[in-house]
């Protein structure tokens, strides 16, 4: 092959988009210019740098900017339990750790059938099998927010759904609105992508409702999405219809799309509202992220989804195509789980869901009741999900610097591990996971009581109440 009187060696890359050619100099040896030939045949040249003299391999900026606050805090804690008391960990949002909450037999059978069929060992389309997307659409479709298969993207867990949703809506320099206290992944993903995170306040005294004025005050020209977590991790709160409508009103007025993290959708205690945001909105475009992890108690199966709600065609085809392109970077959901999905959604008995919810409610009530009477602690009763937040009146615990110190000493002395809520940008609280067996919940609460009774310092009698 000859061009411009120079000889070229052509190395074809497997994707065929660019081919790399190297000039041969007068002596027939490779020169320093590298030419990239695009598929249309045009040629561009770049000068190579002089040869490196030594190794210099550094982590990328993105990897350096990827911070998981839970790891950052927990890894810095001295978590040495009291050898006389077996450890009770109330810190991990994985309902399978104690073995007391198995998934339903129909869910397991669906997986076995999917494996035995030998039909799900290959690659699926990047957005997921049509049949599986249709099953999700049917399961979540309602007259107020109808869904078709094309409105569903299957992902590797809800985490990937959140990542794709942020990636498709935001550019570096944009900002997103995130709840405080809130699930830490949003910030971890956004910061590593150069997206600014603005935290809007939730109000513990109003069952963790959003401070709507505060939220609205944070929205500006570069706000590319509002993240709403409902039901909430870490609060276990569930927003009323009225509150959801008020959130939608702000989003509608200021034209901000919503990323609704609804991984705990329908994990709501009896008597509480379980509306999805999309079912209450006619105009706000919403990407609702969910998955199998929590409601079906199989977080390790890594199956999630994005439901695209766009009745006014605001996302339009561009956002949909953007999502499809992003799914083509790395294939998402495991095909075997995708193969089992239709059966999981259609055949799981109602009793499985209601038994799980009864258990979570009962354990939450036990924990709330026990901790309510502990001096200096203020638990907030949840309405769903699998968490309960507890406020610490730090003024009455002068032995401890903060929630991290408090929870660390709780491990050292009582072998009970609760996650300090600093991990959720909310100091002076800790989060309890309520999926543990009932007897362990009772034992953990008794130990927390003993610990608090030992360290609690009542208000002083000279009128200088520590609370003031
Ligand atoms: C609020 C929230 N969103 C998303 C996720 C991630 O879910 P998955 O395990 O399916 O990636 C979690 C997991 O704990 C969560 O609590």
Q: Taking a C-beta distance cutoff of 8 angstroms, is the pair 287, 258 a contact?
A: yes
Which CATH number is 64-91+351-455 given? Answer: 3.90.1150.10
CA distance 468 to 466: 5
Nearest to 176 by CA among 197, 159, 158, 160: 197
305 Cβ inside 6 Å of ligand 1: no
8 C-alpha vs ligand 1 centroid, how far in Å? 52
Give the model's pLDDT for residue 21: 42
Phi and psi angles of residue 444, each rounded to the nearest 5 degrees, phi first: -60, -45
Query: To which residue do tokens 């949909």 refer?
Result: 320
CA angle 387, 393, 399 (to 5 degrees): 110
Q: 123 C-alpha to center of ligand 1: Å?
A: 25
Does 263 contact ligand 1 (Cβ within 6 A)? Answer: yes
Alpha helices in 20-67 (DSSP H): 61-64
CA dist., res. 164 & res. 362, Å (int): 36
Continuous H helices in 193-236: 212-218
Q: How many CA atoms lie within 13 A of 131 on its CB side?
A: 14
Question: Half-sphere exposure of 103 toward its Cβ, with a 13 Å CA cutoff?
Answer: 22
- Residue pair 197/175 in contact by the 8 Å Cβ criterion: yes
Predicted pLDDT of residue 49: 62
Whole-number Å distance between alpha carbons of 368 and 390:
9
Separation CA 110–CA 242 (nearest Å)? 38
SS3 of 89-120: ECCCCCCCCCCCCCCCHHHHHHHHHHHHCCCC
- Residue 442's CB is within 10 A of a number of other CB atoms, namely 15
- Tell me if 291 CB under 6 Å of ligand 1: yes
Residue 299 in contact with ligand 1 by CB distance below 6 A: yes
159 Cα to the center of ligand 1, angstroms: 6
**DSSP states of 362-414 as a string?**
HHHHHHHHHHHTSTTEEEE--SBTTEEEEEE-GGG-TT-SSHHHHHHHHHHHH
Q: At a CB cut-off of 8 Å and minimum separation 6, what does 213 contact?
A: none
Closest atom of ligand 1 to CA, residue 160: 11
Cis amide bond preceding 231, omega within 30: yes
Domain boundaries, the chain: 2-45, 64-91+351-455, 105-347
- Given the CA of residue 159, which atom of ligand 1 is nearest to it? 11
- Which residue carries 């027939």 as its tokens? 28
410 within ligand 1 shell (Cβ under 6 A)? no
Backbone angles phi, psi at 410, to 5 degrees: -65, -35
Ramachandran category for residue 293: left, alpha or beta (phi over 0 → left; psi -120 to 50 → alpha): alpha
**Phi, psi (deg, nearest 5) at residue 22:** -125, 130
Ligand 1 atom nearest the C-alpha of 304 is 10
Q: For domain 105-347, is the CATH number 3.50.50.60?
A: no
Report how far apart the first and last C-alpha atoms of the chain are (Å, whole number).
Answer: 85
pLDDT in tens, the chain (468 residues): 333 434 333 344 444 334 444 444 444 444 444 544 554 555 555 555 678 899 999 999 999 999 988 888 988 898 999 999 999 999 999 999 999 999 999 999 999 999 999 999 999 999 999 999 999 999 999 999 999 999 999 999 999 999 999 999 999 999 999 999 999 999 999 999 999 999 999 999 999 999 999 999 999 999 999 999 999 999 999 999 999 999 999 999 999 999 999 999 999 999 998 899 999 998 999 999 999 999 999 999 999 999 999 999 999 999 999 999 999 999 999 999 999 999 999 999 999 999 999 999 999 999 999 999 999 999 999 999 999 999 999 999 999 999 999 999 999 999 999 999 999 999 999 999 999 999 999 999 999 999 999 999 998 765 454 443
Evaluate if pTM is beyond 0.75.
Answer: yes
Residue 7: what pLDDT? Answer: 38
Q: What percent of the chain has pLDDT over 90?
A: 83
Q: Is 332 in the pocket of ligand 1 (CB under 6 A)?
A: no
* Dist. CA 21 → ligand 1 center (Å): 46
């Amino acid at each position: 092959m000859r061009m411009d009187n120079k000889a070229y060696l052509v190395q074809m890359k497997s994707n065929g988009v660019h081919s790399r050619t190297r000039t041969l100099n007068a002596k027939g040896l490779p020169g320093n210019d590298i030419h990239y030939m695009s598929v249309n045949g045009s040629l561009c040249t770049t000068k190579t740098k002089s040869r490196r003299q030594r190794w210099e391999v550094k982590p990328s900026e993105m990897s350096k900017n990827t911070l998981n606050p839970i790891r950052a805090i927990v890894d810095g804690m001295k978590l040495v339990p009291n050898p006389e008391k077996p450890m009770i960990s109330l810190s991990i949002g994985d309902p399978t750790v104690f073995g007391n909450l198995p998934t339903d037999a129909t869910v397991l059978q669906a997986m076995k059938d999917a494996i035995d069929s030998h039909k799900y060992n290959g690659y699926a389309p990047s957005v997921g099998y049509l049949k599986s997307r249709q099953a999700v659409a049917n399961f979540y479709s309602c007259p107020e927010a109808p869904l078709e298969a094309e409105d569903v993207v299957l992902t590797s867990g809800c985490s990937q759904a959140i990542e794709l949703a942020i990636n498709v809506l935001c550019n570096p320099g944009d900002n997103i609105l995130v709840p405080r206290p809130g699930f830490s992944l949003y910030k971890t993903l956004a910061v590593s992508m150069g997206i600014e995170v603005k935290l809007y306040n939730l109000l513990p005294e109003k069952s963790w409702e959003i401070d709507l004025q505060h939220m609205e005050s944070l929205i500006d020209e570069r706000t590319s999405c509002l993240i709403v977590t409902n039901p909430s991790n870490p609060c276990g709160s569930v927003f009323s219809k009225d509150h959801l409508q008020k959130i939608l009103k702000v989003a509608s007025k200021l034209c901000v799309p919503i990323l609704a993290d609804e991984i705990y959708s329908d994990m709501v205690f009896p008597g509480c509202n379980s509306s999805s945001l999309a079912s209450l909105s006619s105009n706000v475009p919403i990407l609702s992220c969910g998955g199998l992890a929590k409601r079906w108690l199989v977080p390790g199966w890594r199956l999630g989804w994005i439901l695209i709600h766009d009745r006014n065609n605001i996302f339009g085809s561009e956002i949909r195509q953007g999502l499809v392109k992003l799914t083509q970077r790395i294939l998402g959901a495991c095909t075997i789980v995708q193969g089992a999905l239709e059966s999981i959604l259609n055949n799981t008995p109602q009793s499985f869901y209601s038994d799980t919810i009864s258990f979570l409610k009962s354990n939450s009530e036990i924990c709330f009741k026990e901790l309510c009477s502990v001096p200096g602690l203020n638990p907030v009763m949840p309405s769903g999900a699998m968490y309960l937040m507890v406020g610490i009146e730090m003024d009455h615990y002068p032995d401890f610097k903060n929630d991290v110190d408090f929870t660390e000493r709780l491990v050292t002395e009582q072998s009970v591990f609760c996650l300090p809520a600093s991990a959720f940008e909310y100091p002076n609280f800790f989060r309890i996971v309520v999926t543990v067996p009932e007897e362990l919940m009772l034992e953990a609460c008794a130990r927390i009581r003993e610990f608090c009774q030992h360290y609690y310092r009542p208000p002083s009698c000279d009128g200088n109440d520590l609370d003031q």
